Amino acid sequence: MKEIYDVVVIGSGFGGAINACRLSQAGRSVCILERGKRWGRKDFPRTTGQVARSFWNYTDHGLLDYRTFNKIDVIQASGVGGGSLVYFNVHIRTPEEIFQNPRWPVGVKRDVLNPFYDKAKDMLEAVPLTPPLDLDMPNRTQAFLAAAKGAGKKAELTDICVYTGPEKVNRQGIVQDGCVYCGNCMLGCHVHAKNTLDLNYIPLAEQNGAEVFPLHLVEKIEPIEPVETNGYRVHFKHFDSEKRGEFELGAVVGRKVIISAGALGSTEILLRSRDLHRTLTRLSPALGTKFSGNGDFLLAGSFESNREVDPGHGPSITAIVDYSTDKNKIFIEDLGFPDPFLWYLESALPVPNRLKNLHLFVKKYLMRTLGLTNASGFTDGADKLFQGGVTPRFLPYLGMGTDAADGQMKLSGGNIDIKWNSRRSRQMFKEMERGLKELSDGIGGRYKTSLLWGWPLRKLLTAHPLGGSVMSDDREQGVVNE
């Protein structure tokens, strides 16, 4: 690592990777600091044991980072490529109506952003799902389309960043295989079918001279006066990849610093710098405000659907239906889970006649073994052991909508904490659940709300945390203006 760079980029997710790529192409010297490690295609967790050890902390540096707060949980990723490593691959443009909210800076509009949406879509190769030559449209996709039709709605295949063709070498010289419908998008793609940032923007940035430093967790940012010419010193912990939990302290200077560590990480770094270390005391008083879970509604679904769903088969999300109302934008998508999660769900939920079938199987097996019956074979009994599970006809949903964005992010013991209450957002969630129930009815299923949303928890899980360092034309209302 050099002592000084033109630009230090904190985080290698969508914000960091794209900025690093374009700045390096423009001839700037760029340093990317990433708290997670670099994941190879064969490194991702697959077994239940591997998944259990794959949550991020200061010693294990896992892929998944699950945070629990008051009334809301957040799931995000850790690694070179950021959230793209585990996201559900969807590429949707923010509806134009969203930018009509007066909270947005005047110059930020959909028509202004469209050319950049076009560039990102091309770079990420986002297109509706085209099944591989040897596979059909996933059962889950067909079930979701049928559910929408049954509810009197029209669902559409949505753009996803998943490659389904034969093996190829992509534009950055990386080998990609086509999607094999394994359903493990949330745990990282072992065939490189997901167009994650470590396959496009980041290697392109590196080809133009950018340097990536994994396992570097930023602690604070310190201005070097005069800032206009000297920039900022970024302090970090560099974790040892071989010795669990051990790290060295270090720092690097950036004439410019881009903080792109996600809603939680970026806000945490700025809050520490302002309130704990007192190095950025002039930051806006709005820092930490307007947290939003993006109206995410996860872990709900339809049980006992009238057709096979097989939720663990195919890309995580493939289709979308618009359930917007006069007051709220609401979108609902199909959602697939990796097999380890479905195995856990299957074992946790009661299945009718499971014990009875097991008893009959053992009885028949022992009778044949002891020669107490002349019947041969026991396939029928073995088959019954695997019948009646809840997941084959379980259609999971992901809902997203316009919540009140009124959460507060603060430091607690030097770490980020979120205070959020669903009260001002409940009408939107009621409208969303009405749509979820209609979809379940449309496929002859039984709607089940999120385990977290039910009493007594009444909390949510989001994969799309927003806010904390929001944009605004007014310093009192936002942290940045562009």
Q: What is Dmax (Cα atoms) for the chain?
A: 93
Strand partners, 212: 32
Mean pLDDT, range 238-247, rounded to an integer? 90
Select from 34, 446, 75 the least CA-distant residue to 215.
34
* Location of structure tokens 């749509």: 435
Domain-wise residue ranges, the chain: 352-388
| 175-189 tens-digit pLDDT | 999 999 999 999 999
| 401-455 tens-digit pLDDT | 999 999 999 999 999 999 999 999 999 999 999 999 999 999 999 999 998 998 8
| 271-289 tens-digit pLDDT | 999 999 999 999 999 999 9
User: What are the structure tokens assigned to 175, written together?
Assistant: 């080998």
Neighbours of 203 (CB within 10 A): 20
Contacts of 425 (CB under 8 A, 6+ apart): 295, 403, 404, 406
User: What are the structure tokens assigned to 372, written together?
Assistant: 């107490």
So what's the pLDDT on residue 385? 59
Binned at pLDDT 50, 70 and 90, residue 134 comes out as: confident
Q: How many whole angstroms separate alpha carbon 174 and alpha carbon 151? A: 43
> Rounded to two decimals, what is the model's pTM?
0.91
Select from 238, 283, 241 the least CA-distant residue to 259.
283
Q: How many whole angstroms separate alpha carbon 66 and alpha carbon 49? A: 17
